[in-house]
Structure 1
């Protein structure tokens, strides 16, 4: 058995170690978590007990990210046997998590819920999970950093439940452009995973408002915004603006320049990101390199 304690990095480290011990091949250079539905190794199960202290929700997936240190490209491993058999949610164990890390991984959970909603694979169950996750994060993430004692623990537990709901929905729909961008911004320029969501999500939402505004209904409901299915674009844009405003309430970076990304280098990751976007196939229209660079420019 193996025990992971902490955020997404130690949890994914255990998955990658377990993958090797079960006879799996070296981690892929790509991120394709559809492999989480089919066993591809030779060894038996290893009991994984996960005790998370952030809101990234990696403990609820059968895939683990891993960065190739020589190329700075993030790939991953995925197999149903890598799914933690036990997850212990204890808000008391999150008290010492740095505020910036707790807040930014909360935005990662928000990213899961949002991208699950406007995925081409969304359906009633995933929409319902996403709406509740967004609602809980809006109600409890900020107070979880402001309160003390039992009140703080209650708000933190609600945030942990929101992260759980968010990833259960997106695991059935797969991620979108914001996730693909974050997967490569992180390793290329050493930006924490949750922070990438703080930077990219509003800009990707504005892009998606132009191509899939009709899928923003669950997001609007989670933010308690009016959504008119006959004229969805304005509501979709309002969801993006509300997301940016929500992120702005926390002391987290919101621009690529804030985390030291050189402007002249931002196009370096576009090709790898496009590969993942095409594999996930969640947008519903063809995405171009130029559009991805445009989103990166807006996020700069």
Structure 2
């Protein structure tokens, strides 16, 4: 029986399976829609797709490094319980290794080979086995003369709730030693950028507008208002300097020695920080909150 695009589209909508999987299911079952759905279910593909609307905001960040190249990936799950599952941890570890070797983008990694299958299919297989939605959400690659990694709240070696990469130039032994301290610093302080030069211009402009409006309003209600020139030439620039110092890695006070900035600590160690990445599980994911009664009502209504 000839398989048409309309048939593939219908099966995709009914099962949530991918286009190629839907087409293969129809071919294997001579166009029989019900049999194709059962085929997808037996392969775990329909089951995975049905879970795709559930929020995956837990999971793990996995890191891997090889000399001057490092990667941090985030694979999400629905519950923290799954993050403790050895099967899931193995998945994170293996995908991180593939990403380190082939990772130009998430799409490239998803299509890459992992034990004879694509990474995307391996993840779908894990969804079927473990029974929770999972999402390969983010990936950061970093290169430098030396790349150091750090994992906070580690669940297993090379993976945890926060993963950090730091790229440094300079003597490898010094870079490794202090690089670990810088990575821990980044995990704790979550800087927005490496330096003022690399910070998003829109973020800086928005902060400038906020600080300008705030300073002018405070001055308007002050018992002894300052000259407007003082506001614009001293107070606002001072506040912006403080904002940049607190939110750029090189400008922050080093947590190990708050008397010096991170930039100065790097210089004192004879190294230069050229880049970093910090990935925290579930960062930016909006979790759906439903009480138990609402969840029961929703189930009964369905």
Which structure would you say has the larger Rg? 2
TM-score (norm. length: structure 1): 0.25
Greater strand fraction, Structure 1 or Structure 2: 2
TM-score by length of 2: 0.25
Q: Which one has a larger percent helix, Structure 1 or Structure 2?
A: 1
